[in-house]
């Protein structure tokens, strides 16, 4: 599903922040991406979301060489990906419910078909009583959960989560991990970037460890 071959990335004229990265991610697999702060996890997640292009090497996603994708192809490919960014990227003029429902609206679903699913998921992530408020009044942890709900509501083929439990307590972190595991069970390929060793220890999955831009894989 995803293949990196000798991928390198630099920002502008700066040093390479990712170096000689090669790996494969099979459809339906689950992996953690970890490593110290500044090791390049977010940069790698941005490459996977096609928000950046590599400065060298080859990335293939869903059978496409990403360097050959035009800007107009990107939305179609991205629609197959659910993404949880560290800065949440919620739309402030929509309610929490509307933010979570947005990916379904974008693909043309009728509200009557998804309303119950969205409400149920909001309850699951502990936002049942926050669904009609707008993001500016949510706490950091609540925003994070809203962005998680928005990323998983479409049951995407690929889920990319950058520090998805960074703002929640350990009990809620376990609950959110269960949500990702359930999605994985239903067929989604999952990549979770995290510093949280306690979280990783709860699920026996492959670990990609980045250190100073280089990657080691522990199966």
Residue ranges that bind ligand ATP, judged by CB under 6 A: 11, 14, 17, 35, 37-43
Which residue, 49 or 114, is less far from ligand ATP as judged by CB?
Answer: 49
Distance CA 89, CA 201 (A): 28
- Closest distance of CB 188 from ligand ATP, Å: 22
Which residue, 10 or 134, is less far from ligand ATP as judged by CB?
Answer: 10
Decide: 41 and 193 in contact? Cβ < 8 Å.
Answer: yes
Q: What angle do CA 116, 119, 122 make, to 5 degrees?
A: 150
- Closest distance of CB 157 from ligand ATP, Å: 23
Which residue, 141 or 166, is less far from ligand ATP as judged by CB?
Answer: 166
- Closest distance of CB 43 from ligand ATP, Å: 3
- Closest distance of CB 128 from ligand ATP, Å: 30
Which residue, 21 or 104, is less far from ligand ATP as judged by CB?
Answer: 21
Token pair recorded at residue 126: 């502990």
Which residue, 43 or 99, is less far from ligand ATP as judged by CB?
Answer: 43
- Closest distance of CB 33 from ligand ATP, Å: 9
Closest Cα partner for 69 from 52, 85, 82, 83? 52
């Amino acid at each position: 599903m995803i293949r990196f071959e000798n991928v390198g990335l630099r920002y502008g004229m700066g040093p390479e922040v990712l170096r000689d990265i090669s790996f494969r991610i099979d459809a339906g697999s689950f992996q953690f991406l970890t490593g110290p702060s500044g090791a390049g996890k977010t940069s790698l997640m941005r490459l996977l979301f096609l928000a950046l292009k590599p400065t060298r090497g080859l990335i293939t996603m869903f059978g496409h060489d990403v360097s050959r994708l035009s800007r107009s192809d990107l939305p179609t490919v991205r629609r197959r990906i659910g993404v949880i960014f560290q800065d949440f990227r919620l739309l402030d003029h929509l309610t929490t419910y509307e933010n979570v429902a947005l990916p379904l609206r974008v693909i043309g679903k009728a509200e009557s078909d998804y309303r119950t699913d969205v409400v149920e998921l909001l309850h699951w992530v502990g936002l049942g009583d926050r669904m009609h408020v707008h993001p500016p009044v949510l706490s950091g942890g609540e925003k994070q959960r809203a962005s998680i709900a928005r990323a998983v509501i479409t049951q995407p083929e690929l889920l990319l989560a950058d520090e998805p439990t960074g703002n929640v307590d350990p009990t809620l972190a376990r609950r959110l991990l269960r949500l990702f595991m359930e999605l994985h069970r239903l067929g989604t390929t999952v990549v979770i970037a995290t510093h949280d060793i306690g979280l990783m220890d709860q699920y026996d999955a492959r670990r990609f460890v980045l250190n100073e831009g280089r990657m080691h894989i522990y199966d």
